[in-house]
């Protein structure tokens, strides 16, 4: 057993390395460095500690000061941990595509979170880095600036690289890394140039990021968009060192998310979205090799930050990342199927209080009222509100007394035009197939369908 530590800071780093056993790695051995085992839950604990402690040593900050940073989430969590332990106030500017779990985690740690647009690029006043810098100048806060801060990559040069080489007994052929602020891959370059120059660095890049093109061609065009969090860029970070990076892979959101799910299913490791990108790229690299190699990549953070996204089947289906059965009719539009237990319902034996609790628990505004497998009506939050406002005792009465039983039923073989007529009339569309209840078609279901159709048409063009 290791000795008791005085604080969490001493637990940052020295993370375990584990071999992939149950996924095909071709001729290679693939090892995962479990950075999710850091006390803040990610690889970014390392750089948070380095950037704050080196700023303290340089006399730039002292306990009690206010720090501000632009982050996709995990750097923020690492900074929040160090800020708590060292007595700083922390403000974070984050893009609005970040998972709700990260935002909730940060706020629970006392961080002031400012969310801004994720659909704008560098130079726009609402771009997260530009906003953080502007606020720091206006308020006199210390801007950490991980994208230009050399203490970012220094953390990996002094800790991560040496740990990998030691854990691999000096024998490591390639390290696969992603780039957000570029600290990991740049620190790896600085270390391995001196310690083991034959080690190849491989870039894992989300589709839409400009970095693969930069590695391959030395130039790049406009950035696209991607759902993976924490890696991929629309510019080259100031501290970036790609001198040992000769190979790059562009990984789709779909492959990233499904790889992360596969790693949990087959290896038992709960990895986040960027880890899925890295491991997918590492697997591609490994399977391409004709000679055996020893390869390392990272589990950058824990998947517990993404249960509302990549580990949520409904979200994955909505985004088209999980293939679902297709029927060639209106059944293809809905997200939740009654016969698969995906539709939250109320029974005719439920009270209004029961219905209210289900709406609150599942964050929904309407419930089908069922008698066995037969739908008898619909009740929504307005029905409950007006009923109990007039008579609080209504909470104890059966939903059947207050439900709307004049239902608009649409057959799966009907047209979208018919569906739109129902929506224009302000009615709920109840989908049946051969008389059997399938589910509710919502406006957002149709919007998702039209958006996916548009994206598919553009892809064909």
> What positions carry a catalytic annotation?
44, 274
As a whole number of angstroms, the longest Cα–Cα distance in the chain is 77
Classify each residue of 235-262 as buried b or exposed e, where b means 16 or more C-beta atoms within 10 Å of its C-beta.
bebebbbbebbebbbbbbbbbbbbbbbb
Do residues 189 and 215 make contact, with C-beta atoms less than 8 angstroms apart? no
Q: Which runs of consecutive H residues, i.e. helices, occur in 319-351?
A: none
39-42 contacts: CB < 8 A, separation 24 or more?
A: 39/8, 39/11, 39/12, 39/81, 40/8, 40/12, 40/74, 40/77, 40/78, 40/80, 40/81, 41/74, 41/77, 41/301, 41/302, 41/304, 41/305, 42/74, 42/77, 42/78, 42/272, 42/300, 42/301, 42/302
- Beta strand 429-433 pairing with 436-441: antiparallel
- Nearest Cα neighbor of 367 from 384, 392, 387 is 384
Cα(305)–Cα(204) distance, rounded to whole angstroms?
21
Burial zone of 281 (CB within 10 Å; 0-12 exposed, 13-18 middle, 19+ buried): buried
């Amino acid at each position: 057993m290791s000795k008791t530590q005085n604080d969490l800071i001493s637990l940052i780093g020295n993370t375990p390395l584990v071999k992939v056993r149950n996924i095909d790695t071709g001729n290679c051995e693939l090892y995962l460095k479990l950075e999710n085992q850091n006390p803040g839950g990610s690889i970014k604990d390392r750089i948070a500690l380095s950037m704050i402690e080196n700023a303290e040593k340089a006399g730039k900050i002292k306990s009690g000061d206010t720090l501000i940073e632009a982050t996709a989430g995990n750097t923020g969590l690492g900074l929040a941990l160090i800020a708590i332990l060292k007595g700083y106030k922390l403000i974070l500017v984050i893009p609005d595509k970040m998972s709700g779990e990260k935002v909730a985690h940060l706020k629970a740690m006392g961080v002031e979170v400012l969310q801004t647009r994720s659909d704008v690029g560098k130079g726009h006043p609402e771009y997260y880095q530009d906003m953080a810098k502007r606020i720091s100048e206006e308020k006199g806060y210390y801007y950490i600036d991980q994208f230009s801060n050399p203490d970012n990559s220094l953390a990996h040069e002094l800790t991560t690289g040496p740990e990998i080489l030691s854990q691999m007994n000096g024998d490591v052929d390639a390290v696969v890394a992603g780039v957000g602020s570029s600290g990991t891959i740049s620190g790896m370059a600085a270390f391995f140039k001196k310690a083991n120059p034959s080690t190849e660095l491989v870039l894992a890049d989300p589709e839409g990021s400009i970095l693969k093109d930069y590695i391959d061609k030395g130039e790049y065009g406009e950035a696209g968009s991607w759902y993976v969090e924490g890696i991929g860029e629309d510019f080259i970070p100031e501290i970036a060192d790609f001198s040992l990076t000769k190979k790059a892979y562009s990984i789709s959101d779909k492959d990233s998310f499904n790889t992360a799910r596969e790693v949990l299913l087959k290896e038992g490791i709960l990895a986040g979205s960027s880890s899925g990108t890295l491991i997918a790229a590492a697997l591609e690299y490994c399977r391409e090799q004709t000679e055996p190699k020893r390869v390392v990549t990272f589990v950058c953070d824990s998947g517990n930050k993404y249960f509302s996204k990549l580990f949520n089947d409904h979200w994955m289906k909505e985004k088209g990342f999980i293939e679902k059965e297709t029927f060639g009719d209106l059944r293809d539009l809905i997200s939740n199927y009654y016969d698969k237990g995906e539709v939250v319902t109320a029974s005719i034996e439920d009270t209004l209080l029961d219905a209210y609790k289900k709406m609150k628990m599942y964050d929904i505004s309407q419930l089908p009222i069922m008698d066995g497998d037969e739908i008898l009506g619909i009740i929504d939050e307005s029905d409950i509100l007006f009923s109990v406002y007039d008579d609080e005792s209504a909470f104890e009465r059966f939903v059947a007394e207050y439900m709307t039983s004049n239902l608009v039923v649409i057959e799966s073989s009907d047209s979208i035009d018919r569906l739109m007529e129902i929506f224009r009339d302000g009615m709920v569309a109840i989908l049946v197939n051969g008389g059997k209840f399938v589910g509710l078609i919502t406006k957002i279901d149709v919007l998702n369908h039209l958006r996916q159709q548009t994206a598919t048409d553009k892809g064909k063009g």
